[in-house]
C-alpha cells in the first residue's frame, strides 16, 4: 500500500433535489425531496456504491430566507427538510461504509447535546460520524433562540473555540477500555477510567462526564468551512477536513498553502487536515451536451429568485433598486459571512459581470466551482487541482438529485479509478481511517499509561 499514489478524498453534498437553485423544477427532480427518506436512502446508497468517503448535509436552524416577500419565498424549494442528525441516524442503518457528516452550529447549541448526539451517531454507524462546525451567519437563526440579533463574528469564533474544547473533553470522559462488563464481580466499568471534565470557561460551564462512551473514532471527524482569518485559524487548530469555495487553481493553491502552513504552530502534520473545495459538476457525453444541460436548468431560475439569492449571498443587501443589466455596486462590509461577499464581488469585477450575469453565474454552484464537460474533462480538472497542491479532494455538489449523482458515480468515479486516483474499495470501516486521519489520544489518559501502551 505504501507505493500507492496519494488518493483523492470525495464528499457528496446532498441538498434536497440538488444543489442548483431551480433543481426542484426540473422534470426529473424529486420535488418533495427535503422530507422524503426514500430519496435520501437512494442517494446515500449511490454515494456508497461510488466509494465516496462521506455524504454531507448543510444545515441552518431557521427558514433561511425568512423576511423575503411571499413572491420570492414561495419559489424556494429548499426551505423545509430533515434535521440532519435524525436523517443521518436513519441512513446509518441502510449504509455500511460511507461517512455520515452534517453541519451543526456552535452558536445555537450546547456542547453537551452536541457531543452526545455525534457520539450516539458514531455508535449507531460503527464509527462513521463527522461534524461540520459552523458558527452560523444569519440573523434569522438568532431570532429563533431568544436573541435580538446575531452574535458578532469574533465573539462567535471565541465561543466556537471553547465549544470544541468542551466537546472533546466530553468525548474523552471515558477511556477506550473503561468498560469491563464483568458479570461475576458486578463491576461494569473501571472507576479510574471515567473522568469528569468539570469545564469552567468564558462561555460554558459543563461538568460532565458524558453519558455516552468514548466514540468509536475517539472523536467524530471534525470538519469546517470558514475561510475568514478566524475561520482559518480555528480550522488549523481543530479541523480535520475543510470544505471551501475556490474558483481558480491559483486561489485554491493560495488557500491550501495558507491553511496547511498554519498547522505547524499547533503541532499538527499537514496530512492531518484534508482540504476539499466544492465542485458543481455538469456531466455530458460531449462538452456541448453538458453545456446544453446546464442551460436548460439555468432557464428554470425565476429572475426574482436570482436577484434575491445574490442579495442574500453578499450579506443581506436589497439589490432590487439597481438595474438588472447594470454593474454590481460597491457595498459596505457586513457582520455576516465576510469571505463569501468578497469572493462574489471579486468574481463580478474580474469577469465584468452585470447583476443578472452575476446571479446567473452563481445560481448553480453558489460560490463554488462549476465544471461542465465530459467525464474525462471533469476528471482532468479534479486531477489538476489535486496534483498541483490545490486540493486533497473535493466536495461534489450535484446540480440535480438523484440524476447528477448517478452520473458522477457511473461516469466520473470509474475514470478517477482508472487513473489510480481513487479507491475501488473502502480501506476500513470508520470514516477516520478511510480519510487517513489519526485517532486522537484521550487527553485524560495518564502519560504513564500512554507510554506503556506505546511500548
Residues 181-210 close enough to bind its own copies by CB under 8 A: 181, 183, 186-192, 194, 196, 204-210
194/345 with CB nearer its own copies: 194
Nearest approach in angstroms of CB 90 to its own copies is: 5
Task: Scan residues 12-41 and list those touching its own copies (CB under 8 A).
Answer: 22, 24-27, 29, 31-32, 35, 37
Task: Scan residues 38-97 and list those touching its own copies (CB under 8 A).
Answer: 60-64, 66, 70-71, 73-77, 79-83, 85-87, 89-90, 92-94
- Any alpha helices (H) in 107-248, and if so which ranges? 111-124, 139-142, 153-171, 229-238
Regarding 360 and contact with its own copies (CB under 8 A), the answer is no
3/146 with CB nearer its own copies: 146
Cα 245 to chain centroid distance, Å, stands at 11
Nearest approach in angstroms of CB 189 to its own copies is: 5
Map residue 369 onto helix, strand or coil: strand
184/330 with CB nearer its own copies: 184
Nearest approach in angstroms of CB 206 to its own copies is: 5
Nearest approach in angstroms of CB 10 to its own copies is: 25
Regarding 363 and contact with its own copies (CB under 8 A), the answer is no
Rounded to whole angstroms, how far apart are CA atoms 168 and 352? 46
Nearest approach in angstroms of CB 210 to its own copies is: 8
Given a contact cutoff of 8 angstroms between Cβ atoms, the answer to whether 242 and 338 are in contact is no
# residues near its own copies by CB under 8 A:
80
DSSP assignment string, 311-337: HHHTTS---TTS-TTSBPPP----SS-
- 221: exposed, middle or buried (Cβ count in 10 Å: 0-12, 13-18, 19+): buried
Task: Scan residues 145-174 and list those touching its own copies (CB under 8 A).
Answer: 145-147, 174
Rounded to whole angstroms, how far apart are CA atoms 211 and 326? 58
Rounded to whole angstroms, how far apart are CA atoms 309 and 404? 22
Nearest approach in angstroms of CB 173 to its own copies is: 8
Regarding 140 and contact with its own copies (CB under 8 A), the answer is yes
Of the candidate spans 144-152, 329-337, 399-407, 413-421, the one that interacts with its own copies by CB under 8 A turns out to be: 144-152
* N-term to C-term CA, the chain: 25
Task: Scan residues 96-125 and list those touching its own copies (CB under 8 A).
Answer: 108-110, 112-113, 116-117, 119-121, 123-124
Rounded to whole angstroms, how far apart are CA atoms 151 and 157? 10
Pairing mode of beta strands 205-206, 199-200: antiparallel
Task: Scan residues 292-331 and list those touching its own copies (CB under 8 A).
Answer: 300, 302, 305
Given a contact cutoff of 8 angstroms between Cβ atoms, the answer to whether 215 and 119 are in contact is yes
Amino acid at each position: 500500500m505504501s507505493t500507492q499514489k496519494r488518493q483523492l478524498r470525495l464528499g457528496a453534498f446532498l441538498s434536497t433535489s440538488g444543489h442548483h437553485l431551480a433543481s426542484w423544477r426540473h422534470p426529473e427532480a424529486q420535488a418533495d425531496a427535503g422530507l422524503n427518506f426514500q430519496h435520501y436512502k437512494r442517494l446515500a446508497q449511490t454515494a456508497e456504491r461510488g466509494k465516496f468517503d462521506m455524504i454531507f448535509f448543510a444545515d441552518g436552524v431557521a427558514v433561511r430566507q425568512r423576511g423575503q416577500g411571499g413572491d420570492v419565498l414561495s419559489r424556494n424549494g429548499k426551505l423545509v427538510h430533515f434535521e440532519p442528525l435524525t436523517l443521518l441516524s436513519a441512513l446509518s442503518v441502510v449504509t455500511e461504509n460511507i461517512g455520515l457528516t452534517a453541519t451543526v452550529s456552535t452558536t445555537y447549541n450546547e456542547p453537551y447535546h452536541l457531543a452526545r448526539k455525534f457520539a450516539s451517531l458514531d455508535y449507531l454507524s460503527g464509527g462513521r460520524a463527522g461534524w461540520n462546525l459552523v458558527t452560523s451567519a444569519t440573523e434569522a437563526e438568532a431570532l429563533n433562540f431568544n436573541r435580538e440579533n446575531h452574535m458578532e463574528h469574533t465573539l462567535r469564533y471565541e465561543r466556537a473555540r471553547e465549544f470544541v474544547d468542551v466537546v472533546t473533553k466530553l468525548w474523552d470522559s471515558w477511556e477506550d477500555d473503561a468498560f469491563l462488563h464483568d458479570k461475576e464481580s458486578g463491576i461494569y466499568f473501571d472507576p479510574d477510567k471515567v473522568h469528569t471534565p468539570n469545564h469552567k470557561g468564558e462561555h460554558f460551564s459543563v461538568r460532565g462526564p458524558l453519558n455516552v462512551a468514548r466514540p468509536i473514532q475517539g472523536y467524530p471527524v471534525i470538519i469546517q468551512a470558514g475561510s475568514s482569518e478566524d475561520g482559518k485559524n480555528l480550522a488549523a487548530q481543530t479541523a480535520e477536513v475543510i470544505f471551501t469555495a475556490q474558483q481558480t487553481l491559483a486561489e485554491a493553491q493560495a488557500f491550501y498553502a495558507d491553511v496547511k502552513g498554519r498547522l505547524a504552530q499547533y503541532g499538527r502534520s499537514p496530512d492531518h487536515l484534508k482540504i476539499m473545495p466544492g465542485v458543481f459538476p455538469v456531466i455530458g457525453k460531449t462538452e456541448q451536451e453538458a453545456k446544453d444541460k446546464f442551460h436548460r436548468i439555468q432557464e428554470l431560475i425565476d429572475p426574482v429568485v436570482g436577484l434575491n439569492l445574490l442579495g442574500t449571498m453578499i450579506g443581506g443587501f436589497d439589490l432590487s433598486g439597481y438595474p438588472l443589466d447594470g454593474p454590481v455596486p460597491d457595498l459596505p462590509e457586513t457582520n455576516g459571512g465576510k469571505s463569501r461577499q468578497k469572493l462574489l464581488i471579486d468574481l463580478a469585477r474580474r469577469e465584468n459581470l452585470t447583476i443578472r450575469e452575476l446571479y446567473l453565474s452563481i445560481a448553480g454552484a453558489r460560490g463554488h466551482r462549476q465544471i461542465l464537460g465530459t467525464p474525462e474533462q471533469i476528471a482532468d480538472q479534479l486531477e489538476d487541482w489535486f496534483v498541483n497542491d490545490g486540493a486533497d479532494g473535493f466536495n461534489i455538489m450535484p446540480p440535480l438529485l438523484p440524476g447528477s449523482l448517478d452520473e458522477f458515480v457511473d461516469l466520473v468515479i470509474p475514470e478517477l479509478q482508472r487513473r489510480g486516483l481513487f479507491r475501488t474499495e473502502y480501506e476500513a470501516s470508520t470514516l477516520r481511517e478511510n480519510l487517513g486521519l489519526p485517532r486522537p489520544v484521550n487527553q485524560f489518559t495518564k502519560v504513564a499509561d500512554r507510554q506503556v501502551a506505546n511500548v
